[in-house]
Structure 1
C-alpha cells in the first residue's frame, strides 16, 4: 500500500504550533496574521521533514478555487507550428501555480460543448479560448459568465467583450515592406498569395504594406501552399515577369516560390529577394535561409494566461509585435 501522506495536524504538532498557524504559514498568510519568524521556520522545517503536501481536492471543495485553467482550441493543439503557444500557456500557468488542461474540438461545436461541460464539471477556474487562424468568433454560451481570454481570435462585437490576444499582422506588413525598402527595392515588388476578405492575416498584412508607400506590382495569386505557389510563380516567370522582390504571405508559399525561381535560373537573392511571414521551421531549412516575420506564438500563449490570471481590467484587444528574422534571402536590387 502507498505510504499515508502527512496531515496538516501532524505538521502543526511537530512544529509545536496550532493547526491554524501551520495553515497560515503554508498558505503564505503569515504576515497578515503576524506569525513570528521562528514559528514560520519551525512549520516550514516540519513540512519538509514530513514531506507534507496539501490536499488540493479538499482545499478546492472548501474554497471553490481549483487553481486550474482550461485552454480550448479548434486545431491549435495538434498543429506543429502553433505548439509554442501551448508551451507559453503552460509556462505561464506553472509560474502562477496553476494546472493547464488542454482540449481540442477540431472545429466541431458538439465536441466543443462537451469539452466545456466536462471542464466546468471539474470546476475549472478560467478559460483560454483559442483559434488556429486569427478570426472573429462567438464565445460559446457556456463560457459567457466565466473568466475568458481569447487567444488568436477576436469578438464579433464592435467593442471587445473579452481580452483578445492577437498577432500584430498590420505591423508585420509594415515591417516586411520597410525591410525591402531599406534594402533599396522600389520597383518590381510582387505579393505572392491570395488575399481574401475572410482571411484576417492577409488583409492586415496587405494594409500594412500599403501604409508604407511601397508600390506593389501585379500580385501573383495562389493558395497558401507550396505546390500552388510553385505553379503560379512558374507561370508568371514563363509569361515574362521580371520580379525583383517577392513578399510571400507565408513560409509555405515561399517554399513554392523558391522552387520556381530555382527552376527558372533566378538565384536568390542575387536576382530576386524573398521575404515571408510566420517564421516556421521552413524559414531556417531553406537555402538560402529565408527572411521571415515571426508569429509570436509563445508570447501569445504566455500573455493569454497572464492576462486571464492577472488583475481584472477592461476588455481590450492586445496586438503582439511580430519581429523580423533577417536571414540571407534579401539583397540589394541589381537594377533600379
Structure 2
C-alpha cells in the first residue's frame, strides 16, 4: 500500500506550533498573523521532512476555488495544425497555478452536453469554449451564467472572445505584394464565402489594401481549400490562357496545389509568378521555394484566452490578435520589371 500523506496536524506537531500557525505559514499568510521567523522556518522544515502536500480537494471545498479550468472544443485538440493552441493554453494555465482539462466533442451536441456537465460537476473555475475554425457559435445553455472565454469563435452575446485578426492579415497580404511592385495580374485562389469568417475577413482586407493603392484583384480562381482542388483549378485557368503575376492563396494547402500547377506549366516561383498565402502551417517552410505565409497565432490565441479567463478584468470584449507575415522566397518583383 502507498504511504499515507502527512497531515497538517503532523507538520504542526513536529514544528511545535499550533495547527492554525502551520496553516498560515504554508498558505503565505504568516506576515499578517505576526508569526516569528523562527516558527516559520520550523514549519517549513517540518513540511519538507514529512514531504507534506496540501489536500487540494479539501481546500477547494472550503474556498470554492478548484484551480482548474476546462477547454471544450469541437476538433481543435486532435487537429495537427492547431496543437499550439493547446500548448499556449496549458502554459498560461500553469503560469496561473491551474490545471487544464481538455474535452473534444467532434461537433456532437450530446457529447458536448456530457462533457460540460462533467466539468461542472468537477467545479472548474472557468471554461474556454473553442472552435477549430473561426466562426459564429451559439453558446451551450449549460455555460450560461458560467465564466467563459470564447477561443477562435464569436457569439452575439457579451462573452469575451479571442480571435485572429483576419482582416488585417488580408491587408498585409495585399501590402506585401504592393511593396514588391505588383500592380496588375493579382488573382485570388480559393472559395470566398460570406459565411466563412476567415474567407470573408481576408478578402475584405485584400480588397481594402489593394484599393488604397488604386489596384484591384484581376479575378478569382475558385476552388476548395485543399491541394487537389487548387491544382485542378489553377491548371484549368492556365490552360485557358490566364497569365497571373501573383497569386494570393487563401491557405497553405491551396498554395501547395497552386505550386504544383505552376511548376507543371513551366512557370517559376517567384520569377514568373509570386505566391503568398495564409496560416503558416508546416507546409509553408517545406515547399520549395519556401512560401511567404501569414501566420495564425495559435500559441498566442491559447495563451491570451487563459489570461483573459484568469487574469485581471478590463480587456475588450473581442480581442483580435495580430497575424505576423512570415516572409520567405515565394515573392519577387513583377516579371516585366
3-state SS in 1 of match to 2:80:
coil
3-state SS in 2 of match to 1:219:
strand
Query: 1:251-279: per-residue Cα shift (whole Å, max 9, x none)?
Result: 00000000000100001111111000000
Question: Any residues of structure 2 matched to 1:73-92 within 5 Å, and which?
Answer: 73-92=73-92
Query: 1:169-215: per-residue Cα shift (whole Å, max 9, x none)?
Result: 00101111111111111111111001001100011111111122242
5+ long unaligned stretches in structure 2: none
> 1:44: how far off?
2.0
3-state SS in 1 of match to 2:230:
helix
Aligned to 1:177: 174
5+ long unaligned stretches in structure 1: none
3-state SS in 2 of match to 1:9:
helix
Question: Any residues of structure 2 matched to 1:136-151 within 5 Å, and which?
Answer: 136-151=136-151
User: Which of 194, 198, 202 pairs up with 2:195?
Assistant: 198
- Structure 1 CA distance for aligned equivalents of residues 31 and 272 of structure 2: 68
- Structure 2 CA distance for aligned equivalents of residues 300 and 7 of structure 1: 40
Aligned to 1:38: 38
Aligned to 2:53: 53
RMSD of aligned C-alpha atoms? 1.3
> 1:59: how far off?
1.3
Query: 1:271-304: per-residue Cα shift (whole Å, max 9, x none)?
Result: 1110000000111111111110000010000110
| 2:167–2:201 Cα contact (<8 Å) kept | yes
Aligned to 1:135: 135
Aligned length: 333
Aligned to 1:29: 29
TM-score (norm 2): 0.96
Aligned to 1:189: 186
Moved more, 25-34 or 183-192: 25-34
Query: 1:297-317: per-residue Cα shift (whole Å, max 9, x none)?
Result: 100001101110112347600
- Structure 2 CA distance for aligned equivalents of residues 316 and 329 of structure 1: 37
Query: 1:224-252: per-residue Cα shift (whole Å, max 9, x none)?
Result: 00000001101110111111110000000
Question: Any residues of structure 2 matched to 1:269-308 within 5 Å, and which?
Answer: 269-308=270-309
